[in-house]
Amino acid sequence: MDSGTPISEVPYRYDVTHRSAEVVAGWDRLGAGEESGDVVSVAGRVMLLRTQGKVAFAQLRDSSGAVQLFAQSGVTEDLDGFARLNLGDWIGARGEVVRTRRGELSVKVREWVLLAPARRSFGDKWRGVSDVETRYRQREVDLWANESSRRTLRIRSELVRALRERMWALGFVEVETPMLHVVHSGGEARPFRTHHNALGLDLFLRVAPELYLKRLVVGGFEKVFEIGRNFRNEGISPRHNPEFTMLEAYWAYADYQDVMALFEELVAGVAADVVATTELTYQGRPLDLTPPWRRATMTELISEHTGHSLSVRTPRDELAGLLASTGASVEESWGPGKLLAEYYEKTTETELWGPVFVCDFPEEVSPLARRHRDGPGLVERFEPVVAGRELGNAFSELVDPDDQRERFAAQAARRAAGDEEAMALDEEYLRAIEYGLPPTGGLGLGVDRLAMLLTDSANIREVIAFPTLRPERGEGSAQ
């Protein structure tokens, strides 16, 4: 465990000339037993070490891959020290690029230096670490031990980049809006509460940036987007983390039909960028993201999956009875729209493999969406559903301040009735759209959920570097 060098004596920097993958690719044509005459410096972590008396082989891994180090008596300084390295030690090594007699491209070490000793070991050198709790709590260990974890987080990073670049290319302007909100609004969810000392003000962590983004549209940003964290004080599940990343975008002069086309092109585009195909396999089932995606109304899909022909005009008692028959609880305050949406979620949504755009939601459950141009009681809203879950949410935005005020009032009534998910009335937002919000299409896309699809991850925690867990020692709250 002790490599001998006090940590205080390791160097402050190391000159790296090549990454391991560059060595492996750059001297590809070197024959077995040949020496190139080229000297390189590499650095990384020792993952395997085979000593053999006067010679030793190590696998050095860096972020690009791995390369073998070949140490030999008479060539390598401090061979004994090299042979005593521990798995997990960081070292820098300089030497000639050679290919061993057995054909392994290697750096034949002349000088090497310990950059950081590993006081703890990284698990079984062959089996790694598989305990999921260790993998999520000590992601640094997981990443060194498991190639699939490295790949998952790298794909997530590339996904975020691809989303940005495509939005930029489409002329959307990236903005940042507050995460500390005075008013809980913009999304139906229970918020986290926090406090600002100097202002003596209780604040909410945002559940969605929606209202601020639309205020920027009012301000003249005709195409805006934000990629950022939202916080929702709700249960944790394989598909839910309390903080999660959302892409939200607003597009002036567009409606939800335009947004549908944008959504499917964006998702298919980033899939092609990141995993080079739109034809995925998710959890063993084929999943084809190639546009165009199916468009179907919520009522059509309910009919397909349950045989019941329902709508927001179906008598409330009938809807309530059907919903109750699924085992779901029914609240007295719910109207037909809410009951219909609940019934859809209970019976149909999880059965949809998709991708499919579920269109035309009840107005009752959509306080920020514009009334459907030819469907009373409905709004122009869709949810893209993939693998039985929502990948996002989008609508023709509600632009009428009077209508918006009424919708907020309905939400306020629910809040008064004890519904902590209901939005509060946001006067600042109402004032903003009184200046005039043009026809606007908006969308939200769950970045973690999309990352799950692209990495074939069953659990959202796989695509979040440090998912929310209870504290290790069972202790209480933040210090």
Partner RNA sequence: GCGCCUCUAGCUCAACGGCAGAGCAACGGACUCUUAAUCCGCAGGUUGGGGGUUCGAAUCCCCCGGGGCGCACCA
Number of residues engaging RNA in binding (CB under 7 A):
83
Footprint (CB under 7 A) of RNA, residues 118-137: 120-121, 123-134, 136
C-alpha to C-alpha distance for 280 and 210, rounded to whole angstroms = 31
CB contact at 8 A, 206 and 178: yes
Footprint (CB under 7 A) of RNA, residues 241-260: 241-242, 244
C-alpha to C-alpha distance for 76 and 113, rounded to whole angstroms = 11
According to CB under 7 A, which one of 9, 13, 37, 101 is a site residue for RNA? Answer: 101
Candidates 399, 363, 356; CA nearest to 381 is: 363
Q: State the minimum distance, in angstroms, from the CB of residue 251 to RNA.
A: 19
5 binds RNA (CB under 7 A): no
Residue placing its CB nearer to RNA in the complex, 128 or 401: 128
237 binds RNA (CB under 7 A): yes
> Which region among 37-45, 166-174, 275-283, 465-473 touches RNA (by CB under 7 A)?
465-473
What HEC string does 336-380 produce?
HHHHHHHHHHHHCHHHCCCCEEEECCEHHHCCCECECCCCCCEEC
150 binds RNA (CB under 7 A): no
Q: State the minimum distance, in angstroms, from the CB of residue 188 to RNA.
A: 6
Footprint (CB under 7 A) of RNA, residues 334-363: 345-346
Footprint (CB under 7 A) of RNA, residues 177-196: 187-190
Candidates 27, 18, 21; CA nearest to 103 is: 27
> Which region among 161-169, 262-270, 351-359, 391-399 touches RNA (by CB under 7 A)?
391-399
Residue placing its CB nearer to RNA in the complex, 59 or 311: 59
Q: State the minimum distance, in angstroms, from the CB of residue 379 to RNA.
A: 14
**Token match 């940042």: residue?**
176
According to CB under 7 A, which one of 102, 195, 285, 313 is a site residue for RNA? Answer: 102
| Residues across the chain | 479
CB contact at 8 A, 398 and 405: no
Q: State the minimum distance, in angstroms, from the CB of residue 50 to RNA.
A: 4
Here the tokens at position 378 are 């409905």
Residue 328 in 3-state DSSP? coil
Here the tokens at position 99 are 């290919």
End-to-end Cα distance, the chain: 33
Residue placing its CB nearer to RNA in the complex, 128 or 291: 128
Residue placing its CB nearer to RNA in the complex, 197 or 329: 329
C-alpha to C-alpha distance for 436 and 285, rounded to whole angstroms = 46
Footprint (CB under 7 A) of RNA, residues 304-333: 327-329
Query: What is the helix (H) or strand (E) element at residue 113, kind and residue range?
Result: strand 105-116
According to CB under 7 A, which one of 15, 374, 402, 472 is a site residue for RNA? Answer: 472
Q: State the minimum distance, in angstroms, from the CB of residue 437 to RNA.
A: 21
C-alpha to C-alpha distance for 185 and 166, rounded to whole angstroms = 29
Q: State the minimum distance, in angstroms, from the CB of residue 412 to RNA.
A: 17
Q: State the minimum distance, in angstroms, from the CB of residue 315 to RNA.
A: 22
Q: How far is CA 436 from the centre of its chain?
A: 34
**Token match 């390189």: residue?**
40
389 binds RNA (CB under 7 A): yes
Q: State the minimum distance, in angstroms, from the CB of residue 409 to RNA.
A: 19
Strands 381-386 and 389-390: antiparallel
285 binds RNA (CB under 7 A): no
According to CB under 7 A, which one of 421, 424, 430, 465 is a site residue for RNA? Answer: 421
Q: Dihedral, CA atoms, 281, 285, 288, 289, nearest 10 degrees?
A: -70
CB contact at 8 A, 59 and 66: yes
Residue placing its CB nearer to RNA in the complex, 244 or 251: 244
Residue placing its CB nearer to RNA in the complex, 384 or 441: 384
Footprint (CB under 7 A) of RNA, residues 53-92: 53-55, 57, 59, 68, 70, 72-74, 83-84, 86-87
Strand partners, 117: none
> Which region among 151-159, 235-243, 283-291, 311-319 touches RNA (by CB under 7 A)?
235-243
